[in-house]
Structure 1
Amino acid sequence: MNRYQVVKQILDFLFAVLLTIILLPLLLLITIIIKLDSKGPVLFRQKRVGQNGKKFMILKYRTMRTDTPKDMPTHLFQNAESFITRSGSILRKSSLDELPQLFNILRGEMSFIGPRPALWNQYDLLEARENQAEKSGVSANAVKPGITGWAQVNGRDELPIDVKADLDGYYAKNLSLILDIKILFMTIGSVLTSKGVSEGGPKHS
């Protein structure tokens, strides 16, 4: 772990504490809306692969019905919209469903910025990252996953697996404060425009 990664870990924790306090009224409001909108828990928990292959339970606001197929990437759904709740549609497009991951950061499982954590059974992405690492010498699977990342601001749901792995590998190899700041500002733009959000089957061939 280089010096920047150590500093980044400390900053992640401090900013997560600060944002949790500032956003507490919004977190409570979203909780109430989800409970009034549909039956089921407020939070959605799913097993993901973290840094160096360590499994953890990622937290999100629940945006889909409770009968939605489990452990399946949304981009593989043929008719994802039919499972998304009314409030869930807004939360997903605005990325507000990711806010509970502040607690994943506080637990040391995630960072604000890094490759998105793959599903435990998303073997194609995990393998593609390792294949990419053979070329670059750095594996994205060895970096702490993030709420947003280089792949997310360069296509998000619309990216083929191999392209996503290449972008994740680029981030892991070029990890720096400057790159993180660039991703942060690009993320703000992507959230405001819902750029790259694609429900259901991928739009690429």
Structure 2
Amino acid sequence: MAETITFYTNPMSRGQIARWMLEEIGQPYEMILLDYDGGMKSADYLAINPMGKVPAIVHAGKVVTECAAICAYLADAFPTANLAPPTDKRADYYRWLFFAAGPVEAAVTNKALGFTVPEGRERMAGYGTFDHAINALESAVSGPAWICGDQFTAADVYVGSQVDWGLSFGTMPSRPAFEAYAVRLRERPAYKRQKELDGALIAKMQKPA
């Protein structure tokens, strides 16, 4: 697939995850910056993502939203980047990609909002408790390399973003396994490019008029 990717984002958003993935695949993309109160709620953008949030990508006439889905889609659309395991070795890949997008995201968000699952209602929450979700996540990144062993994949972009942000903003506890995983992630050239690109955009947006 050689079609250009259109990337809708705001640097102060989860769009950073999608940009990291775009940098990993090494394909050209067109960036469209949207602000929260205007562009994201415009009729044109709501036709792309009715949720009125970023990121979103359009590729080959197809819209993909949700960061985990964007990561998985791009890995499949551009197989030469080698960011997805062979189909018969994707158990850990799918397991932890969707675990981070579901239980971890919910647990971390609820904790940040001050919500605690009432005692005895843990099964209803899906993730049990914050500690249950974090302990499970720790087991996924406790190896010496990546989610799928020696191969870095799109699952590491998404799971790694959760860990990296969690450590940076204090929404996830500092544990040796998390810290070691984050160190490995931050050495990725694509990670560094993403931080440089989005950091420059954030600085420009925050510069006094």
TM-score by length of 2: 0.25
Larger radius of gyration: 2
Q: TM-score, normalised by structure 1?
A: 0.26
